[in-house]
Amino acid sequence: MSDSDLIVAARQAREFARAEFSTFKVGAALETADGTIVTGCNIENATCGLTICAERVAMFKAQSEGHHAFRRIAVVADTEAPTPPCGACRQILWEFGGDLEVILANLQRETGRHKLSDLLPLPFDSRLLQ
């Protein structure tokens, strides 16, 4: 799968976002080690605190479907500037996906590319629980 195909999948997932409160729709497409694409979108609710981001939806969906190894994730939002994963998403992506490549894009183009370790340089993970 090409980078542009992954970004297109994230853009398509964004269309299913439930963002009635913020109107900030986000889509994510997670590529597994075997090339499967698992998508997610943000889903808000009235309390806002129980809202879940697109990146976590994609990762939890992938886990629930038996995928445990990943290559990269594309995240798409309708912003001019890059929109990286929030802190909670960075933590979940790190714990379940490792040092993924994170591709950021908007509705027209790619806006950034990072290793997750650059976005989360001192992660809390199972190594600290030993």
| Rounded-to-10 torsion of CA 102, 48, 67, 64 | 180
Q: What is the CATH number of domain 3-119?
A: 3.40.140.10
- Domain spans, the chain: 3-119
Helix (H, G, I), strand (E, B) or coil at 71: strand
Quote the pTM value. 0.94
Q: What is the pLDDT of residue 93?
A: 98
Give 23-67 pLDDT, tens digit per residue. Answer: 999 999 999 999 999 999 999 999 888 999 999 999 999 999 999
Cβ-contact 90, 120 below 8 angstroms: yes
pLDDT range class, residue 1, cuts 50, 70, 90: confident
Please name every residue paired with 77 in a beta bridge, in sequence order, or none if there are none: 26
Q: In terms of DSSP bridges, do strands 26-32 and 110-115 run parallel, antiparallel, or are they unpaired?
A: unpaired
* Residues taking part in catalysis: 55
